[in-house]
Structure 1
Amino acid sequence: MIFNAFERMVAMRYLRARRQEGFVSVIAGFSFLGIALGVATLIVVMSVMNGFHVELLNKILGFNSHLSLSSSSGNGVVGDFDAVTEKLRKVPGIASVTPTVQGQVFATGTRSGGAGALVKSVRQEDLQARKLIAESIVDGTLKDFVADDDVAVMGANLARSIGVGVNGEVTLITPIVQTTMAGPIPRMKTYRVVALFDVGMYQYDNSIIFIPLESGQVLFQKKGGVTDVEIMADNIQDVPALKPAICAALGTKLDFNAGRAAYCTGGSTSYVIGDWEQANADFFTAVEVERNVMFLILTLIIIVAAFNIISGQIMMVKDKGRNIAIMRTMGASRGTILRIFLISGASIGVIGTALGCLLGTAFAYNIENIRRFLQEVSGTDLFNPTIYFLSKLPAIVDPMEVALISAMSLVLTLLASLYPAWRAARLDPVEALRYE
C-alpha cells in the first residue's frame, strides 16, 4: 500500500486533537462540514437544473412539434394540406404529421373579464395521439372532441381563471375583424368545454385551447388550408437531417440562405421549416447559462473549504513541530512525514465528500416532498409555477455528474493538503528541538 499502518495511525491521532489543541480540531471540523455541504449543494442544484431541462424539453415537445412546416406566401396558408401530409408521412424517420390551424384569441367564460390564449385546431385522432395531453386529462374525456361539434379542450388553470368547467361554455374572440350592419366587430364563437388537462407546466395549462380542425378553419378564416403542418421525428437527434428529405418529398430543394429559417424552394409552392431548437433557442440557452453559472458559484464553497484545510493543516504542523522532530530523529524519512500530513488533510476531504454525496443524492431524490413539507410548515409558496413554469420541483440525479463533482472535490482537497504536508516534511529537527 502507498500508506503504511504507522502513517495512518499517526495521521488519525493528529486529527483527534487534544483539549489544548482544540482550535485546530474546530478548523478541521468546519473544513469537513464545508466540503460536505458544498458537495451536497452542488449535487442538489445540478440535479434540479437537469430536471428543469428534461421536464421543460418534454413539456415543450409534448405540445409543440420537432419541425413545423408553413407556407412562405403572404397569407401563410398551406393549401392541399392532406396531400402534403401524406407525402411527409412517407419520409423515413418521421413519426407523425399533424395539420393544424393556430391563432391568438381572447377567451371569456362566466366570470367578468377573460384571458389571452393560444388556440390550436387539430383533428381528434391527432389530439388523442399526443400522450402528454391524453395522459393529463383531469376532467371530461377526449372522446367528446369530435369534428361536427363546437367543442374545446383547455388547460385546467385557464378554465379556472375564467370560471369554466366541463360542459361549460367558453367564448373565443379573435383579432380578425368582420364588417356588420353595426360596424366592424371582432370574430367570436362559443364552444362547449369537453375536457380539461393539467400537464404540470403553467405556461401551457394557463394558455392553451384545442378545438377541432374544421372549427379552427372557420374561426380564423383559413378554409381549405392550415397555418402549420407539425412534424414529429422518430429521433430528436435526426431533426436537422430530416429537412432536406422533407423538401425533396414536396418537390423542392432546401435553401438556408434566408436567415436562420430553412426554406424549401424551387417548386410550385415554397415552404418554411422551423424546428423546436430554433423556436426555443433563447430559452434553453438561458437555462444552460444559469446552470453553468450556478456550478461555478457553488464550486467556490468547496474551494473555500479547501482553503480551510490548508490553514488548519498549517496550524497542525506548527503545533506538532516537536513531534515531527522526534519522529525524524528516530528514523522517519521526509516522505513518511509528508504522507502522514497528507493523510490527515485528505481524510477530511474524502469523508466530507462521501457524506456530501449521500446527503446530496438523498435530498435530490426527495426534493419535491421536502418542498411540500417546508411549504406547509412556513405557509409560503416556495415554488411559484407562474415564475418557474413547472408546477412541481423536478430533480434528475446524473451518476456521471455526481462522480465528476466528487472527483473535483477530492482533487481540490488533495491539492490543499500538499503544501502543509510539504512544509512538515521540510521541517529541520534541530531547529524544532533547539528551544525545547
Structure 2
Amino acid sequence: MNFPLYIAKRYLRSKSSQNAVNIINFITFLVIVIGSAALFIVLSAFAGLKTFSLSFSNTFDPDLKALPASGKVFSISPKEEEGLNNLDKIANYAKELEERAYLTYKEKSTIAFIKGIDENYRAVTGVDSTLYFGNWGDMEYHGVIGIGIYNLLGVPMSNRTPMEVLTPKPGKGSFSQQGLNAKPYNELPLVISGVYAIEENLDKKYVFAQLPMVQKLLEKDSTEVSGINFKLKEGADPEEARNAIKTVMGDKVLVLSRREQNNTLYRMLNTENLATYLIFTLVLIIALFNVVGAIIMMILDKQQNSKTLYSLGTTIKELRRIYFIQGLLVTSFGGLIGALIGSLLIGSQLAFGWLKITPSLAYPVEYDVMNLLIVMATIMVLGFISAKIASSRISKKLISA
C-alpha cells in the first residue's frame, strides 16, 4: 500500500483534539462544496440562456445561407437553380429578397425590413411556428408583420385599409431629372393577413411578402435575390454541402453556416460565459486559500505524529506527500459532492421548472457533461496548487522543533 496515501486517509477521517482545527476543516470542506456547486449551476444557467437566446434567431436562420460576396443582390440563373436541385445533401432551398423600407399606416410610421420570400421559405426555416394569429395569406398583396410593428402602427387585418410600404427608387442622378411630379420612392399597398411573435427586437424587424411582389417594388428582375436559404438533409455534413453550393454558385456568393450568420451574438454569449467562469474561478481561488490554512493547521496539530514518523524513517519528502495528498482528497471530495448537488439542482429545474422567469416560462438551464468536467478540472487544479503550497511548509526544522 502507498504509505503517504494510507496516512493521509487516516488523517482525513480522524478528528483533531483541538476543536478549532475541526471547525476550520469543516468550513474549508463546506466552502469547496458550495463553490463547486455554484460554479456548475452558473455554467449550466449560462448554457441554457445561450440556447434560449439562439433559439430566437435560429427561427429565421437556415442551416446554410448564400449571401452576395459584394453588393446587396446577386442573380441566380435557371441553370444554377437546376444545379442546386440536383445536390444530394440539400433537402430544400428558398430564395429571398430583403431591403429596408418605410412603413406607414394613417398617421403612424416606422422603419423595418421588407422580406420577399418564395413558396419554399416556410419549409426551409422554422418561421411557421412563430405565427401568433392570422395566416400567411394566399393573395399577391398579403403580408405578415411582427407583433411589434402591429402594435406600433395599429394596422387592422382588413382588405379595406392596407399598410403602405415605401422604398427609395434605385438609380443615379437627381430627382429633378425624373420629372417635377415624379416620386422618389416606390409604393406597395400591403394587406396584413397574419402576425408573428418571437422576441421584442425581431418582432419590430420584418414584414414578409411574396418574392415577385418585392422584386417588383425594388425594381429587380425575377433572377435577382439577396439570399438563398438551404435546409440540409438529415446527417449531411455542413462543410461538404457548403463546398457543393460554392461549386454551383461560384465566387459571387458567400455561404455561411448557422453560427456564422450570428457571429456577433455567438461571440457576445461566449465572452459573457468566459467572464462569468473567470469571476467564479477567482472566488474559488480566494476560497481555496482556506485549504492552505487548514493543511497548515493540520501540520501543526499533527506535529508530534510527524516527529514519530520521521523517527521511524519517513523522509521529509514523504511527509510533504502525506499532507499534499490530504489536500487533494479534501478538494476532490468537496468538488465531487458540490458537482453532485449542482447536478441535482439543475436536474430538478429541468424536470419541474421551479424557478420561473414568468409564470409560464421556467428559467432555462442546460445539463452539459462538459461543464461538469470543467468544474472538476478547475477544482483539481486549484486544489493541487493549494495543497502544494501548504505541504511545502514541512521542513526538517519544523519537525525538529
- Please, which of 201, 204, 207 is the counterpart of residue 205 of structure 2? 207
Per the alignment, do residues 272 and 422 of structure 1 end up closer, same or farther by CA in structure 2, a change over 3 Å counting? closer
Q: Which residue of 2 aligns with 1:379?
A: none
Q: CA offsets per residue over residues 168-198 of structure 1, 9 Å max, x none?
A: 8543232338978755353333322222223
Per the alignment, do residues 403 and 33 of structure 1 end up closer, same or farther by CA in structure 2, a change over 3 Å counting? same
Is the contact between residue 76 and residue 227 of structure 1 (CA under 8 Å) also seen in structure 2?
yes
Q: Which residue of 1 aligns with 2:186?
A: 187
Kindly indicate whether residue 113 of structure 2 is the aligned counterpart of residue 118 of structure 1: yes
The Cα of 1:362 is off from its aligned counterpart by: 4.3
The Cα of 1:339 is off from its aligned counterpart by: 6.2
- Please, which of 206, 210, 216 is the counterpart of residue 214 of structure 2? 216
Letter in 1 for 2:144: V
Q: CA offsets per residue over residues 307-341 of structure 1, 9 Å max, x none?
A: 22012211232233235435656x58458855654
Per the alignment, do residues 75 and 134 of structure 1 end up closer, same or farther by CA in structure 2, a change over 3 Å counting? closer
Is the contact between residue 354 and residue 362 of structure 2 (CA under 8 Å) also seen in structure 1?
no
Q: Which residue of 2 aligns with 1:104?
A: 100
- Please, which of 64, 81, 86 is the counterpart of residue 82 of structure 2? 86
Q: CA offsets per residue over residues 83-136 of structure 1, 9 Å max, x none?
A: 5323212123223221222111133457x6443222211123x23314521223
Q: Which residue of 2 aligns with 1:249?
A: 248
Is the contact between residue 101 and residue 120 of structure 1 (CA under 8 Å) also seen in structure 2?
yes
Is the contact between residue 356 and residue 363 of structure 2 (CA under 8 Å) also seen in structure 1?
no
Letter in 1 for 2:165: L
Per the alignment, do residues 49 and 230 of structure 1 end up closer, same or farther by CA in structure 2, a change over 3 Å counting? farther
Is the contact between residue 150 and residue 191 of structure 1 (CA under 8 Å) also seen in structure 2?
yes
Is the contact between residue 100 and residue 226 of structure 1 (CA under 8 Å) also seen in structure 2?
no
Provide the rounded CA distance (Å) in 2 between the counterparts of 1:106 and 1:423: 74
Q: Which runs of 5+ in 2 are unaligned?
A: none
Q: Which residue of 2 aligns with 1:272?
A: 253
What is the alpha-carbon root mean square deviation over aligned residues?
3.9
Q: Report SS of the residue matched to 2:101.
A: strand
Per the alignment, do residues 421 and 169 of structure 1 end up closer, same or farther by CA in structure 2, a change over 3 Å counting? same
TM-score (norm 1): 0.72
Letter in 1 for 2:116: S
The Cα of 1:289 is off from its aligned counterpart by: 3.7
Q: Report SS of the residue matched to 1:224.
A: coil
Q: Which residue of 1 aligns with 2:333?
A: 351
Q: CA offsets per residue over residues 358-399 of structure 1, 9 Å max, x none?
A: 3433454538956636x78xxxxxxxxxxxxxx986433320
Letter in 1 for 2:84: L
Letter in 1 for 2:115: K
Q: Which residue of 1 aligns with 2:126?
A: 132
Is the contact between residue 115 and residue 208 of structure 2 (CA under 8 Å) also seen in structure 1?
yes
Is the contact between residue 353 and residue 362 of structure 2 (CA under 8 Å) also seen in structure 1?
no
Letter in 1 for 2:369: P
Provide the rounded CA distance (Å) in 2 between the counterparts of 1:369 and 1:234: 33
Q: Which residue of 2 aligns with 1:309?
A: 291
Q: Give percent identity, aligned residues only.
A: 19
Is the contact between residue 39 and residue 277 of structure 2 (CA under 8 Å) also seen in structure 1?
yes
Aligned length: 385
Q: Report SS of the residue matched to 2:189.
A: strand
Is the contact between residue 11 and residue 341 of structure 1 (CA under 8 Å) also seen in structure 2?
no
Letter in 1 for 2:12: A
The Cα of 1:239 is off from its aligned counterpart by: 4.4
Kindly indicate whether residue 148 of structure 2 is the aligned counterpart of residue 157 of structure 1: yes
The Cα of 1:17 is off from its aligned counterpart by: 6.6
Kindly indicate whether residue 195 of structure 2 is the aligned counterpart of residue 196 of structure 1: yes
Provide the rounded CA distance (Å) in 2 between the counterparts of 1:247 and 1:415: 51
Per the alignment, do residues 163 and 26 of structure 1 end up closer, same or farther by CA in structure 2, a change over 3 Å counting? farther
Per the alignment, do residues 362 and 301 of structure 1 end up closer, same or farther by CA in structure 2, a change over 3 Å counting? same
- Please, which of 58, 69, 76 is the counterpart of residue 73 of structure 2? 76
Per the alignment, do residues 278 and 233 of structure 1 end up closer, same or farther by CA in structure 2, a change over 3 Å counting? same
Per the alignment, do residues 162 and 394 of structure 1 end up closer, same or farther by CA in structure 2, a change over 3 Å counting? farther
The Cα of 1:38 is off from its aligned counterpart by: 3.2
Provide the rounded CA distance (Å) in 1 between the counterparts of 2:314 and 2:100: 80
Letter in 2 for 1:123: D
Per the alignment, do residues 187 and 46 of structure 1 end up closer, same or farther by CA in structure 2, a change over 3 Å counting? same
Per the alignment, do residues 118 and 25 of structure 1 end up closer, same or farther by CA in structure 2, a change over 3 Å counting? farther
Q: Report SS of the residue matched to 1:184.
A: coil
Provide the rounded CA distance (Å) in 2 between the counterparts of 1:245 and 1:349: 52
TM-score (norm 2): 0.77
Is the contact between residue 59 and residue 132 of structure 1 (CA under 8 Å) also seen in structure 2?
no
Provide the rounded CA distance (Å) in 2 between the counterparts of 1:71 and 1:327: 75
The Cα of 1:294 is off from its aligned counterpart by: 3.4
